[in-house]
Amino acid sequence: MDLTEAERSMLTKKQEEICGLTLLILRDAKDPEKEETIKENFTSIIALLNQIAAYSHTGHDLNKLTVAINELFLIMSRERLHKIWIASPITIEIVCNFLNSVRFQFVKNGIKLTLPKNINIGNIIHQ
């Protein structure tokens, strides 16, 4: 079933909203006091991606992305608890770039969602 013009417009707006949220996250990334706001914005992005994926007939599984963001949340919480905020800003930047690298392509029967090949937060931190 083809997407209507209204659905295409709505999906494009969700993609723009993801970009806007990542920009807000990047602005706050170096401030450990903004941890809660950063996490809320990442959670909103996951919700938006899941809404977009609902229109995808390719059956994309966003679980790896969710796991990566959960790992980031653990890193952020640990660093804030120990009053060091070193790995968190760098990892936040990488995850934001990953999220903005998700490609959306309108195809005949919906939308094709293409995720970057790999995101492994554990490898980023332990390098």
Residue 88 and residue 76 in contact, taking contact as beta carbons nearer than 8 Å: yes
Question: Rounded to two decimals, what is the model's pTM?
Answer: 0.87
For the segment 15-67, what is each residue's pLDDT rounded down to a tens digit? 999 999 999 999 999 999 999 999 999 999 999 998 888 887 665 668 888 88
Half-sphere exposure of 107 (CA within 13 A, CB side): 13
What is the DSSP-derived secondary structure letter of residue 3? Answer: P
Measured distance CA(74)–CA(61) in Å, rounded = 22
Confidence of residue 126 (pLDDT cuts 50, 70, 90): very low
The pLDDT of residue 119 is 67
